[in-house]
Chains A and B, each alone.
With several copies, the nearest count.
Chain A
């Protein structure tokens, strides 16, 4: 399945990009996707990284083809 991945802040900096489309095999879980990208881009402090699926922080979802998954570092608004 194809997942549209978005990166923000220090994660975009680590990845060297703000988005990409990943073709994933074998229905990986959201946790597996996170681990994979954390390793690939050497993302620091991974426990501070939240994932949003289709703009929703609830991570108890199964990935579906076409989902938008955002890698969000700690919020710093204001």
Chain B
């Protein structure tokens, strides 16, 4: 049975660029780090049958997502020689051009940071129970499905 408290990954609304700068600045005192890898998901203004996406509204089965994220995180730390990893995903409405996902991994060397970042992104996209409602400019909507 997992006893550790799962890390929080959800934030309300879009992730501001300043949060990313803050996360980077927080790691400048960790002088064993040589490489950071960052992935950002941004909302695209996709056009679907003549309608243009203006925002995605995210919901999640939060407790389950946090527990699964905790397992992903444990696996990542056992697979990759990383010093730290931070993941944030939006809940609620995120407008086109805004950021909904922020994955940040750090390591002494580039290879591990990059591989761990990719691992998190793939696992988050496929394993976390997060749901997205694509809202069009005309207020209609459809449900997003990851490919």
Contacts and interface: CB of A to CB of B under 8 A. Distances in A.
Complex: A in contact with B (CB within 8 Å): yes
Given A6-B61, A52-B61, A70-B129, A76 B145 contact: yes
A12 B125 CA distance: 21
Say which size band chain B's interface belongs to: 20 to 34
B95 to A, nearest CB: 16
Given A78-B101, A78-B124, A72 B61 contact: yes
A76 B146 contact: yes
A70 B89 CA distance: 21
B41 interface: yes
A26 interface: no
Contact of B61 (A70, A74, A76): A70
A75 B58 CA distance: 11
Contact of A76 (B64, B127, B144): B144
Given A8-B129, A9-B133, A55-B67, A75 B59 contact: no
Interface string B49-91: 0000000001111011001000000000000000000000100
A77 interface: yes
B64 A75 contact: no
A74 B133 contact: no
Contacts of B124: 77-78
A74 to B, nearest CB: 4
Contact of B132 (A48, A70, A72, A76): A76
A75 B63 contact: no
A74 B145 contact: yes
26 contacts: A6-B61, A8-B60, A8-B61, A8-B129, A9-B131, A9-B132, A9-B143, A10-B131, A12-B59, A13-B143, A48-B145, A52-B64, A52-B129, A55-B63, A55-B64, A74-B145, A75-B125, A75-B127, A75-B130, A75-B131, A75-B146, A76-B144, A76-B146, A77-B60, A77-B132, A78-B100
The 4 closest A-B pairs by CB, nearest first: A9-B131, A77-B130, A76-B132, A55-B64
